[in-house]
Chain A
Amino acid sequence: MSDDHESMTTDTPVANLPWPERFRELAKQAEDEQLKAFYEAGCVAPETPLKDVPFVGVDFETTGLDANKHSIVSIGVVPFTIDRVQLGGSRHWLVKPQLPLHQTSITIHGITHTDIDKAPDLDDILGEFLGCLAGRIPVVHYRNIERPFLNVALKWRIGQEIRFPVIDTMAIESHLHPRRQPNWWQRFRGQQAISIRLADSRLRYGLPHYPPHNALVDALASAELLMAQVQHHFSPETPIGDLWL
């Protein structure tokens, strides 16, 4: 699982640093105050056990899958630790997309043009959003949405990208189920392919069905999924460095 976004960075010496040091360097280089503040909040050391890590579940709903062609329409965040999610700290924003809102994404997210017209620009909430992430390890289901979309958005607005480690609950599922397609014998026995989609993964851990396609509910769903994964396959003592990407 190579991280395609690290390869995008040009200043290689910094990229080779462990995350806490790298955050300190990036803080120095950051031109934008909000971004600077984010890095200055720091990053836990890779050997920190999971039970001591502050996490934040993050989800973006977007107008499509390509960060260069589509934009963010809503963001949900929910802070948690490995044994508790605090709903009281959860936030949800609708943001005005820079690119036209596709008819298809209206039907998926249930967000209308009227909602969007009233929504703030990502600029206006960026500080608040980065504040929610500061000092916490973001947890997402499928990391190739949140980081690239955020990078494109930041590049457009402040001319700089953002770097941080993430926990990807989908990558964990994929690691746990390396051979998801049934072989001919299993197919013969009627076995289905193993799905690592959020809703299907949750089912395996006895987590309830939540209606999909709402950024906050999906952020919560990923947070709960990580709690379940840790209890089933890892331990509260597992170092965060084993899981982040």
Chain B
Amino acid sequence: MQAELIEIRNHLAQHPPFDDMPEETLDRIVSGIEVAYFRAGTDILKLGERNAYLHYIRSGAVEMYRRTGELYNRLGEGEIFGQYGLLMSKTVRFPVKAIEDSLVYLIPDEIFRYLWENDDSFTDFVEVEDRSRLRSALSRREKSNQPMTARVTRLISRGPVTAPNTVRLQEAARIMTEQGVSALLLMDESGDSPKLSGIITDRDLRTRALSEALPSETPISDIMTDGLITTSSNSFIFEAMLTMLHNNVHHLPVMDGDKIRGVIALSDIVKHESQSSLYLVSNIYHQQDVKGLKRLSKEVPNTFVRMVREDANSHMIGSAMAGIGRSFSQRLLELGEEKLGPPPVPYCFMALGSMARDEQLVVTDQDNAMVLDDSFDPAKHDEYFLALAKFVSDGLAECGYTYCTGDIMATNQKWRQPLRVWKEYFADWIENPKAEALLNSNIFFDLDGIFGRTEYTEELKGFIAERASNSQRFLAMLARNALNRTPPLGFFRTFVMEESGKQAKTFNLKRRGTAPVSDLIRVHSLACASKAQNTFNRLKAIGDTKLIPEDGVDNLRDAFEFIAIVRIRHQALAIEAGREPDNNVRPEDLSPFERSHLKDAFQVVTQAQKFLKFRYHAQVARNV
């Protein structure tokens, strides 16, 4: 390259995928560049024509179309096109037209090939399609951090070892020895298909059989553990650890729906990963008073930052943070019951919003409610529950979970009601939907029982799933509300910033990022009668029903993950710098890589919002 062309090299070097390339590579590219000029309105690439160049927009703007003529993408300075055809047959797959006068640098095929074969990040970047570009960005992250993001199925080295629950003690011990396992699953084979009914472990044999000198003919069902605690095959190892610790069990059957995938033992996990981030949670249960919990809560931001540094994904971090929040609530409820005595009637303490969705981050307020047994008599019992709710709410506030400004807390009498009243609430929201009212009650449609009779919450989830999926008016209204907040992406893929106030020149990655996605996914999820609460799980349920096309589901999942992880990293950086973490991001604080992928992600969200509007005939409300 002639050194005088450094200006062109510098321009390339400011834009992905060229920004990480060594100078020699860039020089090589510049030497091969051919420059072309296209007046606004002229075709740059025509469908089916031969194309032997990667196109780089130096100035101007272009539009890319699908085969059908439908607009596919709009690109501007520093962006590339033409790679799809190059990778396939050297014929144009997405025609491109200049919409402004454009100067385009053409990078010949042989240099493209060279980069493709020698530069991994280039290869990832120009992957066949925009959407897969986003996906490969995510998977590259995941590759580097297997320990934090690995799922329990990684720990399963063999299929489940099972026996009928009618076997005798001696026989069970023989099977376990022969198979070399420390736990045996026992099946109820009386029905049409065998059902998991219990588990027996080495430790059970020792403590319940040998030490009691039980006869070898004892039916195994007499000493096995029933009411099994299991984990789902798509849960993370981290979650399985939490389950084991909280329930004090050392073995967990891993279930894929009704099917048993295998059993994992605590020792498997210990082998697999250090206990670093777990220390906090297990410690929560050892605290004897609010003061101890408060002291421990100072560790939460550090745990958060550590997980981000270890490159955990957003699902991982969201569920760990929600798990920590849940543990604080649970321990406070235990302490509250110790102080106030046992509850006069059964109840369930319910988490709402992000904690229920397992998507909590480090900046969060408390949203909770109580579902009381139908035998609840306000005159006799409410004094107790108010006191308990207040104890928990004050305790949570001490631990950094600030009071809910919308007063959605169990301390509010309205949200401390018997199951029957809760059903009336939901029936009213669903059957007489009013947009305004629904905006405020949105949060109740993300619910999770975290203490006490969690089956009450399960019953509510079932109630909601059934009613909501049958009410088109409700879905339309909910969809309409979900369109209130749009991604911060303007014409020409520029970020739209907040205009004034302290947040000027930033955009809010929660309000305009993750929230619009979880809002729209909630609508689809309720439409397909899913009881899932977590956005990723909801997406899986939606995908199963084919309510949205499969690649739509994948794209949304990738988009949500990317927006969430950028938001998480933004908060972690603030904590590390000793600043108050928030959701307001300045574009210049993002890397070009993040900026580019965020735009891809926002485009996916915009598309998904369009589909939502069309699918539920939602009228767009004014912006709020």
Which A residues contact B (CB, under 8 angstroms)?
A: 76, 80, 83-88, 90-92, 205-208, 210-211, 214-217, 220, 223-224, 227-228, 231-232
Once A208-B103, A224-B103 are accepted as A-B contacts, the answer to whether A87 and B59 lie under 8 Å apart by CB is no
CA of A211 to CA of B7 in the docked complex: distance in angstroms? 8
Closest Cβ of chain A to B160, distance in Å, is 64
Give 10 A-B pairs besides A214-B4, A220-B35, A223-B35 with Cβ atoms closer than 8 angstroms. Answer: A85-B34, A85-B35, A87-B1, A87-B30, A90-B4, A206-B103, A208-B59, A217-B7, A224-B35, A231-B38
Once A206-B103, A224-B103 are accepted as A-B contacts, the answer to whether A76 and B36 lie under 8 Å apart by CB is no
CA of A76 to CA of B3 in the docked complex: distance in angstroms? 12
**Chain B residues within an 8 Å CB radius of A216:** 2, 4-5
Once A88-B31, A216-B2 are accepted as A-B contacts, the answer to whether A83 and B36 lie under 8 Å apart by CB is yes
Once A87-B31, A87-B33, A206-B100 are accepted as A-B contacts, the answer to whether A231 and B4 lie under 8 Å apart by CB is no
Q: Which has the most chain B C-beta neighbours within 10 Å: A76, A86, A90, A206?
A: A206
Which B residues contact A (CB, under 8 angstroms)?
A: 1-5, 7-8, 11, 30-40, 42, 58-60, 100-103, 106
CA of A92 to CA of B1 in the docked complex: distance in angstroms? 10
Are B37 and A228 interface neighbours, CB within 8 A?
A: yes
Closest Cβ of chain A to B585, distance in Å, is 28
Closest Cβ of chain A to B338, distance in Å, is 72
CA of A76 to CA of B1 in the docked complex: distance in angstroms? 13
Interface of A is mostly: mixed
CA of A232 to CA of B37 in the docked complex: distance in angstroms? 11
CA of A80 to CA of B34 in the docked complex: distance in angstroms? 9
**Chain A residues within an 8 Å CB radius of B3:** 92
**B100: nearest residue on chain A (CB-CB)?**
A206
Once A87-B5, A206-B59 are accepted as A-B contacts, the answer to whether A228 and B39 lie under 8 Å apart by CB is yes
Are B4 and A87 interface neighbours, CB within 8 A?
A: no
CA of A86 to CA of B33 in the docked complex: distance in angstroms? 7
CA of A74 to CA of B27 in the docked complex: distance in angstroms? 22
Closest Cβ of chain B to A118, distance in Å, is 14
**Chain A residues within an 8 Å CB radius of B101:** 205-207, 228
26 A-B pairs with CB atoms under 8 Å apart are A80-B35, A84-B106, A85-B35, A87-B8, A87-B31, A87-B32, A87-B34, A90-B2, A205-B37, A205-B101, A206-B40, A206-B60, A206-B100, A206-B102, A207-B59, A208-B58, A208-B59, A210-B7, A211-B7, A216-B5, A217-B4, A217-B5, A217-B7, A224-B37, A231-B42, A232-B39
Q: Which 10 A-B pairs have the closest CB atoms?
A: A206-B101, A216-B4, A85-B35, A208-B59, A227-B37, A231-B39, A87-B33, A84-B34, A92-B4, A92-B2
**A223: nearest residue on chain B (CB-CB)?**
B35
Closest Cβ of chain B to A218, distance in Å, is 10
**Chain A residues within an 8 Å CB radius of B103:** 206-208, 224
Interface of B is mostly: mixed
**Chain B residues within an 8 Å CB radius of A211:** 7
Closest Cβ of chain A to B263, distance in Å, is 64
Closest Cβ of chain A to B144, distance in Å, is 37
Are B35 and A87 interface neighbours, CB within 8 A?
A: yes
**Chain A residues within an 8 Å CB radius of B7:** 210-211, 217
**Chain A residues within an 8 Å CB radius of B30:** 87
**A229: nearest residue on chain B (CB-CB)?**
B37
**Chain A residues within an 8 Å CB radius of B40:** 206
**A219: nearest residue on chain B (CB-CB)?**
B4
Once A205-B101, A206-B59, A206-B60 are accepted as A-B contacts, the answer to whether A215 and B39 lie under 8 Å apart by CB is no
**Chain A residues within an 8 Å CB radius of B106:** 84
**B39: nearest residue on chain A (CB-CB)?**
A231
CA of A88 to CA of B110 in the docked complex: distance in angstroms? 14
Are A207 and B31 interface neighbours, CB within 8 A?
A: no
Contact for B5 among A90, A206, A223, CB less than 8 A: A90
CA of A217 to CA of B35 in the docked complex: distance in angstroms? 13
Closest Cβ of chain B to A141, distance in Å, is 16
Are A76 and B4 interface neighbours, CB within 8 A?
A: yes
Closest Cβ of chain B to A146, distance in Å, is 17
Closest Cβ of chain A to B52, distance in Å, is 12
CA of A216 to CA of B40 in the docked complex: distance in angstroms? 27
CA of A91 to CA of B2 in the docked complex: distance in angstroms? 7
CA of A220 to CA of B1 in the docked complex: distance in angstroms? 14
**B37: nearest residue on chain A (CB-CB)?**
A227
Closest Cβ of chain A to B569, distance in Å, is 33
Q: Which has the most chain A C-beta neighbours within 10 Å: B60, B100, B101, B102?
A: B101
**Chain A residues within an 8 Å CB radius of B37:** 205, 207, 224, 227-228, 231
Closest Cβ of chain A to B108, distance in Å, is 9
**Chain B residues within an 8 Å CB radius of A207:** 37, 59, 101, 103
Closest Cβ of chain A to B9, distance in Å, is 11
Closest Cβ of chain B to A60, distance in Å, is 14
Closest Cβ of chain A to B36, distance in Å, is 6
**Chain B residues within an 8 Å CB radius of A217:** 4-5, 7
**Chain A residues within an 8 Å CB radius of B38:** 231
Closest Cβ of chain B to A88, distance in Å, is 5
**Chain A residues within an 8 Å CB radius of B34:** 84-87
**Chain B residues within an 8 Å CB radius of A206:** 40, 59-60, 100-103
Closest Cβ of chain B to A108, distance in Å, is 15
CA of A223 to CA of B5 in the docked complex: distance in angstroms? 14
CA of A90 to CA of B100 in the docked complex: distance in angstroms? 27
CA of A69 to CA of B42 in the docked complex: distance in angstroms? 47
CA of A91 to CA of B8 in the docked complex: distance in angstroms? 15
CA of A84 to CA of B283 in the docked complex: distance in angstroms? 69
Closest Cβ of chain A to B388, distance in Å, is 67
Closest Cβ of chain A to B502, distance in Å, is 34
**Chain A residues within an 8 Å CB radius of B33:** 87-88
Closest Cβ of chain A to B450, distance in Å, is 58
**Chain A residues within an 8 Å CB radius of B11:** 208
Once A84-B36, A87-B35 are accepted as A-B contacts, the answer to whether A215 and B4 lie under 8 Å apart by CB is yes
**A205: nearest residue on chain B (CB-CB)?**
B101
CA of A208 to CA of B2 in the docked complex: distance in angstroms? 20
Closest Cβ of chain A to B55, distance in Å, is 13
**A206: nearest residue on chain B (CB-CB)?**
B101
**Chain B residues within an 8 Å CB radius of A80:** 35
CA of A212 to CA of B34 in the docked complex: distance in angstroms? 21
Closest Cβ of chain B to A86, distance in Å, is 6
CA of A217 to CA of B60 in the docked complex: distance in angstroms? 19
**Chain B residues within an 8 Å CB radius of A90:** 2, 4-5
**Chain B residues within an 8 Å CB radius of A232:** 39
**A215: nearest residue on chain B (CB-CB)?**
B4
Closest Cβ of chain A to B370, distance in Å, is 63
**Chain A residues within an 8 Å CB radius of B1:** 87
